Structure 1
Amino acid sequence: MKTSIKFSDNLRFLVFTILFIAALVGLGTHVANAQPKRIKNIVLVHGAFADGSGWKPVYDILVNKGYHVSIVQNPLTSLKADVDATNSVIDRQDGKVILVGHSWGGTVITEAGVNEKVAALVYVAAFMPDKGETTGKWVAAAPAAPEAGFTVPDQFGFVYFDPAKFYGGFAADLSQAQSDLMSASQVPIMGKCFEEPVEQVAWKNKPSYGIIATHDKALSPSTERAMYERAKAKITEIKGSHVIFISQPEEVADVIIKAANAS
């Protein structure tokens, strides 16, 4: 025996409304899932003769824009030690990472960037060596600027940026007082670091961005360009000294943000 059930008009309307809302929720979820998710994790790696505190201006900008920023403190005792320190920070992140390196930090991120969490690399007035190359090769790729100079390794093997040349050769677009403090607190690097060859090269397989500091005296802008062009990195020129991430933090942060949005 068949039973026929007749819905009232109100009940039919209620069922239709429920189904319509469910369809909209499903569509909204699909659209949300289809939206590319911006990378929120930024890891900053300092170079020789400095420490992570120099990244503060860039850090402040990125944090205020909602990014999660971590800063590596490199021991500067060997390439492996610095790569290990960087990977330790990368591994703590809860998702993909934009890895940023300044100067010697570029050599570090070239190796550490093979970490599967790294989505893209940003080189800030940085070294960008290929497999088997040393940082020292690129230090010597162009004549040294007269404003710059390193000390010879001391009895422990540490090398300093010549204090007498620090302002003109390293931080000429900062105040004299700020440069003097950086010089007095500089972190020396083991000289052997510059002779250690790179074994893994992340930029061959991951998007890379290179910032040329046009008034750099510590690392020749022409050398920066040569490395970046060889790697087919997206290049941005910014007027500033070797510590451009301190003197022009907004422009440096903009490049990092572009890398995060494009990855």
Structure 2
Amino acid sequence: MTTPASTPTVLLVHGAFADAGSWSGVIEHLQGHGIPVIAPPNPLRGLAADAAYVASVASQIEGPVVLVGHSYGGALITVAGTTENVVGLVYVAAYVLEEGESLGELQGRFPASPLVSNLKEWTYPVPGGDRAVEVTITEDAFPAVFAADVPAETTKVLAAAQRPLAAAAFEETASAAAWRTKPSWAVVATADRAIDPEVERFGAKRAGATIVELEGASHAVAVSRAAEVADVIREAVAATG
């Protein structure tokens, strides 16, 4: 299938407790429709630094870019989306921040999800000899919290391969809100137990996003409902290309 020169490249940003492989099914669907796609690693070290990394990747892509963010990745595309060649934003079971808002502030407006009580703390070295805190989901809680609609054998692998998020990321505030000037779409996972679906709806409505609700979908919606997530991304590509 040939791809028109004006077709935006889709840049997929994974969230916490996952890696770029979580987009595999979505990538397969997009590539099958001739849409160029890239899924770089998300450093998961902090909102400002991670958003700067995503923005850097986007700025080096020739032509227009549609940014897609899952979970914490949604906060990153909100900031990185101000990059000049970004033409659209797609939020997938994601945090949609306002400028000056943190993940903790947005989440704090709603009842805590089961994720909060099932985090395990680790530490890692930082410059100067100090240690910082990072978190993962406890392996026994991971299936129910993150991926309740994913086959058990797959979930065991996902739980073992988690990438931790720096705890400081919850308190950093967004330096921009790209949805104010760029069109946006949002997938709400109605059975999400990592981010309260009401948090996803609130942010998406505030951003004026075109919202698609996937009934019964877990936080790992890009894994369990890859074709439907890809369809929303294709809609964004078609609307911005």
TM score, norm. by length of structure 1 = 0.83
Offset from partner CA, 1:161-188 (integer Å, 9 cap, x none): 1222100010000011111111111000
2: distance between equivalents of 1:146 and 1:250?
A: 27
Pairing of 1:8-87 with structure 2 (within 5 A): 38-87=6-55
CA distance 1:166–1:115, shift in 2 (3 Å):
same
1: distance between equivalents of 2:134 and 2:81?
A: 26
Report the equivalent of 1:135: 103
CA displacement at 1:148 relative to structure 2: 6.4
Report the equivalent of 2:90: 122
The gaps in structure 2 that reach 5 residues or longer are 125-132
More helix by share: 1
TM score, norm. by length of structure 2 = 0.90
Match of 1:257 among 234, 237, 240: 234
Pairing of 1:1-263 with structure 2 (within 5 A): 38-146=6-114, 149-151=117-119, 153-156=121-124, 157-239=133-215, 240-263=217-240
Q: Which moved more, 1:87-96 or 1:45-54?
A: 87-96
Q: Identity over aligned residues, as a percent?
A: 39
Q: Is the 8 A contact 2:135 2:167 kept in 1?
A: yes
Task: Say which SS state the counterpart of residue 173 (structure 2) adopts.
Answer: coil
RMSD: 1.6
Q: Which one has the largest radius of gyration?
A: 1
CA distance 1:67–1:242, shift in 2 (3 Å):
same
Amino acid at match of 1:257: R
1: distance between equivalents of 2:156 and 2:150?
A: 10
1: distance between equivalents of 2:47 and 2:115?
A: 27
2: distance between equivalents of 1:109 and 1:103?
A: 10
CA distance 1:203–1:179, shift in 2 (3 Å):
same
Q: Which moved more, 1:240-249 or 1:144-153?
A: 144-153
Report the equivalent of 1:27: none
Offset from partner CA, 1:177-219 (integer Å, 9 cap, x none): 1111111110001000010000111000110111100111111
Amino acid at match of 1:185: A
Report the equivalent of 1:25: none
Q: Is the 8 A contact 2:90 2:236 kept in 1?
A: yes
Q: Is the 8 A contact 1:150 1:159 kept in 2?
A: no
2: distance between equivalents of 1:77 and 1:66?
A: 33
Detail structure 1 runs of 4+ shifted over 6 Å in the superposition.
none
Offset from partner CA, 1:27-72 (integer Å, 9 cap, x none): xxxxxxxxx9752310000000111110000001101111110112
2: distance between equivalents of 1:205 and 1:244?
A: 27
Task: Say which SS state the counterpart of residue 137 (structure 2) adopts.
Answer: coil
2: distance between equivalents of 1:261 and 1:37?
A: 13
1: distance between equivalents of 2:152 and 2:85?
A: 39
Q: Is the 8 A contact 2:14 2:70 kept in 1?
A: yes
1: distance between equivalents of 2:116 and 2:221?
A: 16
CA displacement at 1:83 relative to structure 2: 1.3
Offset from partner CA, 1:198-242 (integer Å, 9 cap, x none): 011100011011110011111111111111111111111012100
More strand by share: 2
Q: How many residues align?
A: 228
Q: Is the 8 A contact 2:121 2:134 kept in 1?
A: yes
2: distance between equivalents of 1:254 and 1:224?
A: 19
